[in-house]
C-alpha cells in the first residue's frame, strides 16, 4: 500500500497564522504603551512629592537663606541623588504661591 500523506503547512495556512499574530500584536501595543505612560506619570509624581518634601526640610533648616533650587536638595533626599523624570522631563521648584510646588516639564506629570 502506498501512502500519499504529506505533512506540513500550506502557504495559505502560514499567511493566516502570521496575520492573526500581527493583529494580536497591533491590538496589544496601545495598551502596553498606555500602561508604560501611566507608570512614568506615577513615578514622576512621586519624585515631585520627594522634591517638595526635601525643599520644605531645607527651608526649615535654613530659614534665612534663599529658596533652594532642585540641585541644592541632594542632602535632603534618601540616597543623596536628585530624582530624574522617567520621561526625560526636568524638574523645577515654584515658590510663587507661598508654598513650594515642584513641577515637571512633561505635560500631565504635575501633581
Beta partners for residue 91, in sequence order? 104
pLDDT tens for 74-91 read 999 999 999 999 999 999
State residue 25's pLDDT score: 94
CA atoms of 95 and 80, how far apart (whole Å): 23
Angle at 38 between CA 33 and CA 40, to 5 degrees: 95
Pairing of strands 101-104, 91-94: antiparallel
pLDDT tens for 12-66 read 999 999 999 999 999 999 999 999 999 999 999 999 999 999 999 999 999 888 8
- Which of 3.30.420.40, 3.30.1300.80, 3.20.20.60, 3.40.50.2300 is the CATH number of 11-104? 3.30.1300.80
100 phi/psi in degrees, rounded to 5:
-90, 135
* Residue listed under C-alpha cell 541644592: 72
Beta partners for residue 102, in sequence order? 93
Q: Structural domain boundaries of the chain?
A: 11-104
How sure is the predictor about 8, in pLDDT bands with cuts at 50, 70 and 90?
Answer: confident
Amino acid at each position: 500500500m502506498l501512502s500519499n500523506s504529506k505533512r506540513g503547512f500550506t502557504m495559505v495556512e502560514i499567511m493566516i497564522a502570521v496575520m492573526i499574530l500581527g493583529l494580536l500584536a497591533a491590538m496589544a501595543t496601545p495598551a502596553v504603551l498606555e500602561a508604560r505612560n501611566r507608570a512614568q506619570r506615577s513615578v514622576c509624581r512621586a519624585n515631585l512629592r520627594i522634591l517638595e518634601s526635601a525643599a520644605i526640610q531645607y527651608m526649615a533648616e535654613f530659614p534665612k537663606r534663599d529658596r533652594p533650587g532642585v540641585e541644592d536638595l541632594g542632602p535632603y533626599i534618601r540616597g543623596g541623588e536628585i530624582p530624574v523624570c522617567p520621561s526625560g522631563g526636568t524638574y523645577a521648584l515654584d515658590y510663587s504661591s507661598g508654598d513650594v510646588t515642584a513641577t515637571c516639564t512633561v505635560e500631565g506629570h504635575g501633581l
